[in-house]
Structure 1
């Protein structure tokens, strides 16, 4: 049994859910069989029994034409339930359209739809229902339209909120990278992941629309004679409530009980479906994998054209106090077969730089660069369609969280096959065959069986391997790996890093590896970029990192890494202070408030990166010149 079905079953097994479910089932059965069992009795006119009170023959009495009220209440179940469900369906469908429209329409049209929804949500639902009932006229059809339109704004707002929460997931970013269009992205990746909360709220909405519809019929705006529903029967019974309350109480109880059944079952389902916890392994004291054989220290030939060229990249966001620039003036290049690592503290701009290169940073963010080229194609000047075709086949993304890297409601093989269908125009079966082959290439055991499983059936390491396999569905020239081993244990971490190394060696694929662990980067990459406050402060060969790093920030990062020789009786070395917020970067060198070598020149002017030695660039007014002191300090784990 699939996970969603088992969770719904869990909702039905709770005491409240079971009672509400049984009650709903009874109401549905009654709606089906009541017209056949009591339809004639409910419609037969008996002039000899007009407006009688409760009796053995008529437990709830008769109406002004002598018809049995109990039979009429039972028969009215079908029309009452049908109209309420129809109105709910209309509200849900219209709410889905309005809620997802901003994701599909152009920006201005999407904002217009959002504004209309926000204005409609501000009005009470009952007021909207009465307004639309007057607009569409008296009758069941007008009442259905009125209640459906009144429900739509709230459901649209819910859809917008849920869609926004899913749109930020890694698997959506991956789908955008491979070129999936907006409509397909919405239908295949976003809506299936918000279907459960939408279904729960639709169930609760049905319980709300039932009394609303009864209210319109009670006011004479809903069902008209000769048809009748619970609301119309309530209105008729209310005229005689001073003589006998039974004709009014019976339809009232029917409305309340059925509405409560819908609401209680929806609440039980929300409780069962909403409690989702995901345990994550501890990230402290992770042992380091051994150096990859023949990786660190080996630099490929850099004479050819680079795969990726970045010059003066800037990413800015608007804010109340003006524009904030968390990435400011980043420049680097990656050549075929080269592995470049990016290190730095959280908030230094590593991931945002990678997202900007992949064109996954959406407005209102503003991306500028003097030069931003991938395989010779300018990324900022190329059309969206051509750009997605290029990035979808030649660039692969491996995200930090392997669980969020895949769409949880699609089978893994189907997700990989979608890439081949979209970019290589393969048939469904051929694309699935290629997906199995790619899973086999990244050493996923039993790939045929695994391809038919959901992501939650994979371990963390297998999901990360499958994510790399997804990148290999095309012919990637560059793999951007954003913290690909953070949530994995040391054994799986070693396997993932070796897999990236194998892919690099077999295909001459360039790798941009983002990682907090500077030692892992040193052992895996050819070159290291050290970022701080949105800038690259040092760019040097990985082989020279421990002995030749000269920026005080790089030295502090190295000193903060414990090793077997670290004195366990002494506190761990830390970098004093905190990195500056993107909107509060100080004048001059951003690291100056934390740097022991800072002077007035550092606090007054921000140094530009300059070439220190061949292959080594540094942005610092006072680079360290005593290499032996650096090596001794790094080995002993001293503070920066």
Structure 2
């Protein structure tokens, strides 16, 4: 609302409409109903700015007084359309395959009918009058909402958590009400807000045609109907109701569409530059360098989806030329932290905290600055590249959009960047599917180098690659950091990779950083979880006659993380303090008993020497 002039204008118009709807009948109701046979069918005058009707009643007063009924009827029609539309759109989610196809075909058929014709037909069937008009507009608006609901629901139905719920035997209705509808509610509500503007116009149209409000009641459309025969003699008599319909309709439409556009944008940390709720300064903890030295500074970063918080108070820095690794089991919040740093947390996620790139809050960076100073390397290069565009075209787009280069200059830069990353120049004309996995990953890195990045965020960039290609890609990342002086964040499951390629390592568990340690001291880590992860890496001296080390139990889901240490249930050193108090990150470790210090009863099976049984995903948990 604050950033969009259209949204501000719409909000003012909606507020004016609602104020008139509340006050109109009280302030102008008596004047609007006062019958005056001595001044019938008059044009505009100082006494009657918009003239009078056939009963001598003031048209301006009647227009203002009609606001309440006009808005009320439009709201009722919109509510009816929302109920019908959402119900029709959601039905295929609970019906069998054939019935779902039938309902979808019905919705598609209704969508093909012009809205006004459908509204008139439904109004005639329901009966001429106020109720018929409400039914007509409600039925006419239902197909569009039904199609939107079906499209959104189909997207959510493919999510893993919906599949998991169905595998657990959850009923279709419960899956719909608990897992599908809550996740599509916001875009539906925004669409209904915009539909209210169209409903105002539709109700006025039906009343204008004589199918809506009937005397002695009147809305804006009825006033237009009664004044229309005089339009060529006293055109001002239709000005009031016509302007009222336009103003209110435009206002609701602008507000709804502006909110929808805002909700569709990926949230950027709202606290950037304004101070987080619990801001962490450079001296708040060991290992956090000052903002002047840091390429990236993250303070108390928190990511939440409704009542679920998968990332909790993460703080760290990355200096120029430094590679910081982030490790942890799946679900520990590594990738979400990376997405939050890049301002890419998916909807409906929200981010709180400070993210500063070279001392400047992320939210204050322009698109050009963000596009040239921050490079993201994702684990699946095939999904990061547009399959319909040639590789060179996608690389050149960065230079043309953010650097203002011509197509020729941008293409030459793309060729140079590809060659720098070890991809032959002729591959600039290839499509992504024509490249191998390693070449695609190199192309993604080259895309990030089209600008002059000061920070490279690599989210498991070697997951789908074979060992030889993994080494080449990691060597390339290291060369880029050394040659450009950029900072880098490397996220990986592989402890061995992180320990050999990074300067510092952040270990995450249940959304929190539990330890920060120099990479060359990983085997001397103090947190039981970090030591257990390291113990899960087999080497040439590992006794193959013994089972691999693993951590008993499983990491808690984000919604189940409460007070106390989240690792306590799996730790052999846990005591009452661990269950009661959340450990703070002090001295680079968040543990009440680092290295087993002061632990009582460290007797859990498999946890001797802090190694524990560690369920390692990949080669490092």
> Is structure 2 residue 333 aligned with structure 1 residue 349?
yes
Show the 5 A alignment for 1:548-567.
548-567=524-543
Q: Could you list the runs of 5+ residues in structure 1 that have no partner in the other structure?
A: 1-104, 138-147, 169-298, 612-616, 627-632
What TM-score do you get using the length of structure 1 for normalisation?
0.52
Could you tell me whether the CA contact under 8 Å between 2:85 and 2:141 is conserved in 1? no
Counterpart for residue 472 of structure 1: 449
Counterpart for residue 624 of structure 1: 595
Could you tell me whether the CA contact under 8 Å between 1:413 and 1:452 is conserved in 2? yes
Coordinate RMSD, CA, aligned: 3.8
Could you tell me whether the CA contact under 8 Å between 1:403 and 1:455 is conserved in 2? yes
CA displacement at 1:596 relative to structure 2: 0.1
> Is structure 2 residue 588 aligned with structure 1 residue 609?
no
Could you tell me how far apart the structure 1 residues matched to 2:534 and 2:9 are? 49
Equivalent in 313, 316, 327 of residue 332 of structure 1: 316
Deviations 1:178-217 (A, max 9, x none): xxxxxxxxxxxxxxxxxxxxxxxxxxxxxxxxxxxxxxxx
Could you tell me how far apart the structure 1 residues matched to 2:118 and 2:302 are? 55
Distance change in 2, residues 1:634/1:594 (3 Å): closer
Counterpart for residue 435 of structure 1: 414
Distance change in 2, residues 1:593/1:421 (3 Å): same
CA displacement at 1:366 relative to structure 2: 2.3
Could you tell me how far apart the structure 2 residues matched to 1:441 and 1:577 are? 46
Distance change in 2, residues 1:441/1:125 (3 Å): closer
CA displacement at 1:301 relative to structure 2: 10
Could you tell me how far apart the structure 1 residues matched to 2:508 and 2:608 are? 19
Counterpart for residue 490 of structure 2: 513
Counterpart for residue 19 of structure 1: none
Equivalent in 562, 570, 595 of residue 571 of structure 2: 595
Counterpart for residue 379 of structure 1: 362
Deviations 1:367-425 (A, max 9, x none): 111x3211111124x2xxx4432221101000011211211111111000110011001
Could you tell me whether the CA contact under 8 Å between 1:126 and 1:150 is conserved in 2? no
Deviations 1:499-543 (A, max 9, x none): 001001111111100000111100000000000011110001111
Q: Secondary structure at the match of 2:294?
A: coil
Could you tell me how far apart the structure 2 residues matched to 1:108 and 1:367 are? 28
Show the 5 A alignment for 1:147-296.
none
Counterpart for residue 312 of structure 1: 300
Count of residues in correspondence between the two structures: 370
Deviations 1:259-285 (A, max 9, x none): xxxxxxxxxxxxxxxxxxxxxxxxxxx
Counterpart for residue 198 of structure 2: none
Counterpart for residue 520 of structure 2: 543
Deviations 1:160-189 (A, max 9, x none): 678889999xxxxxxxxxxxxxxxxxxxxx
Could you tell me how far apart the structure 2 residues matched to 1:134 and 1:542 are? 68
CA displacement at 1:365 relative to structure 2: 2.2
Counterpart for residue 494 of structure 1: 471
Could you tell me whether the CA contact under 8 Å between 2:367 and 2:402 is conserved in 1? no
Counterpart for residue 249 of structure 1: none
Could you tell me how far apart the structure 2 residues matched to 1:301 and 1:492 are? 34
Could you tell me whether the CA contact under 8 Å between 2:294 and 2:358 is conserved in 1? yes
Deviations 1:100-154 (A, max 9, x none): xxxxx98999xx9x997885573755566497556699xxxxxxxxxx9998777
Q: Secondary structure at the match of 2:351?
A: strand
Could you tell me how far apart the structure 2 residues matched to 1:578 and 1:407 are? 37
Flag as ranges the 4+ runs of structure 1 deviating above 4 A.
Answer: 105-109, 114-121, 123-128, 130-137, 148-168, 299-304, 633-640
Q: Secondary structure at the match of 2:438?
A: helix
Could you tell me how far apart the structure 2 residues matched to 1:150 and 1:414 are? 42
> Is structure 2 residue 379 aligned with structure 1 residue 396?
no
Distance change in 2, residues 1:476/1:163 (3 Å): farther
Deviations 1:42-93 (A, max 9, x none): xxxxxxxxxxxxxxxxxxxxxxxxxxxxxxxxxxxxxxxxxxxxxxxxxxxx
What TM-score do you get using the length of structure 2 for normalisation?
0.54
Q: Could you list the runs of 5+ residues in structure 2 that have no partner in the other structure?
A: 1-5, 11-74, 89-105, 122-139, 161-286, 598-606, 615-621
Counterpart for residue 453 of structure 1: 430
Counterpart for residue 572 of structure 1: 548
Equivalent in 383, 392, 401 of residue 413 of structure 1: 392
Could you tell me whether the CA contact under 8 Å between 1:566 and 1:637 is conserved in 2? no
